[in-house]
Amino acid sequence: MTAKQILDSFSETLMRDERILCPQERELLMSLLQNSRAVSSSDPQTQSAVTAAIARSVGETVAQRAFALLGGSIVEQILARSGMPAGIEETMLAATAQSHAPQPPNPISPPSGPTAPQPPNPASIPPTPRAPQPPNPASPPSGPTAPQPPNALHPQHDRPLSVPVQRVGEQSQLNSGSSVGVLDSPEIVRAQCVVLDEFLAPQELEELVSYTLQREAQFHSSELVSPSGEPGVVDYDHRRSRVLMDLGKHEEVILDRIRGVLPRVLDQLGIEQFPVTDVETQITASNDGDFFRAHCDDSEEIIASRLVTFVYFFHNEPRQFEGGELRLHDSHGKGQRQVSTGSYQAIAPRQNQIVFFPCALLHEITPVACHSKAFADSRFTLNGWLHK
């Protein structure tokens, strides 16, 4: 076994051990690399420097954790996986001791093998050049489960977590990293989601905020889809916020990022890979007192093809609002509706974070508190739906 083979195997062993570099950290590093490429694509030298700097810092951290946690058992793991006789531990240790600390592969470089994020499928979410689509008029919705209307339909779309909900009675709230193993009842729809931090590059986020603030006059009251299948009804008892349908270039920016992560998001949600036939996107502004009561995003026939909801959080700095949590409920059927079992997952709005979850989940937005009432201080989301 050559020195390079020893170090390669050594690095792979470290990357597989979640005590050294957990899946959330690996995904965050991939996101950082993706963002660095987006902002320096025209300057390979800058991109290489950023990649090297991140890799150097991460390598030192990984090495320290490895020796603290594993010590000599690292060699045993390498030998066990390689099938080599146990008598060569001393030889391998001598080979690796030439370096001050073992250096793992650059965790933010595109990895190879089965753990690598799958490349975007050009057919899954094709580019979507289009003009802004006005909302359609409609008749009133009924019932608390009326979902958002399809707007602007067009053809072909520090940690990722697949987050189950804790089952601990009425309104049990938990952080997005915790879970409790339970036996699922077949008639209960369990809440689940995938959360990705630092989703856009800093420059992309800054441009999105600027674009949104400059178009306050183009926002209009949010609408609902009625049980008859017609969108365009405003119901302030069920939903209160304002939306913008024309996302400009930012629609393709967000969809391009979603293409890149969609395969692993679907895998974590337990959803079979599917061709995306339609995508809806909008920017939503929620100010003081705004909310959205519990609903499902696919509950009416006209939007039954919706499969995955995404919600990207952003806001002007410094943040001037409170509340506006996204709550994903465990639910069960009651007639033609889904009703909460009393337990839910609460996700507080966090800058530059995106959440994916099945459209069939019962969810709500809690009231927002914004004392200034200024549009620029609103809770903003770039949200939408992927159709199968």
Q: Judge if 178 and 281 occupy the same domain.
A: yes
Q: How many domains does the chain contain in total?
A: 2
In the chain the beta strands, taken as DSSP E runs, fall at: 154-155, 161-162, 188-189, 194-196, 220-221, 224-225, 231-233, 239-240, 242-244, 278-286, 291-295, 306-314, 322-323, 326-334, 337-347, 353-358, 362-365, 368-369, 379-387
8-state DSSP, 368 = E
- Whether 105 is covered by a domain: the verdict is no
Residues 173 and 251 in one domain: yes
Which DSSP symbol is given to 218?
G
159 occurs within a structural domain: yes
pTM, two decimal places: 0.60
Regarding whether 320 and 181 lie in a shared domain, the answer is yes
Give domain status of residue 311, yes or no: yes
pLDDT digits (tens, 9 = 90+) for 16-63: 677 777 777 777 777 777 777 666 666 777 777 777 777 777 777 777
Q: How far apart are CA 330 and CA 342, in angstroms?
A: 7
Nearest to 385, CA basis, from 301, 297, 295, 272: 297
Q: pLDDT tens-digit profile of 205-264?
A: 999 999 999 999 999 999 887 655 566 788 889 999 999 999 999 999 999 999 999 999
Token couple for 305: 């093809």
The domain that holds 307 is classified in CATH as 2.60.120.620
Alpha helices in the chain (DSSP H): 3-16, 23-39, 44-69, 73-82, 89-96, 202-213, 250-269
Residues 6+ apart with CB under 8 A from 360: 189, 296, 297, 298, 338
Q: Compute the chain's Rg from CA coordinates.
A: 24
Q: What is the pLDDT of residues 329-363, one digit of tens each?
A: 999 988 778 899 999 999 999 999 999 999 999 99
pLDDT classification of 90: cutoffs 50, 70, 90 = very low
DSSP reduced 3-state for 333 = strand
Domain range for 83 is 3-96
| Comparison of pLDDT for 1 and 155, the residue scoring more | 1
Question: Does one domain contain both 158 and 79?
Answer: no
Nearest to 216 by CA among 285, 152, 280, 167: 285
User: Given pLDDT bands bounded at 50, 70 and 90, which one contains residue 13?
Assistant: low
Inside any domain, residue 324:
yes
Is residue 91 located within the same domain as residue 199?
Answer: no
Q: Is residue 317 part of a domain?
A: yes
Q: Is residue 346 part of a domain?
A: yes
Q: Are residues 60 and 166 in the same domain?
A: no
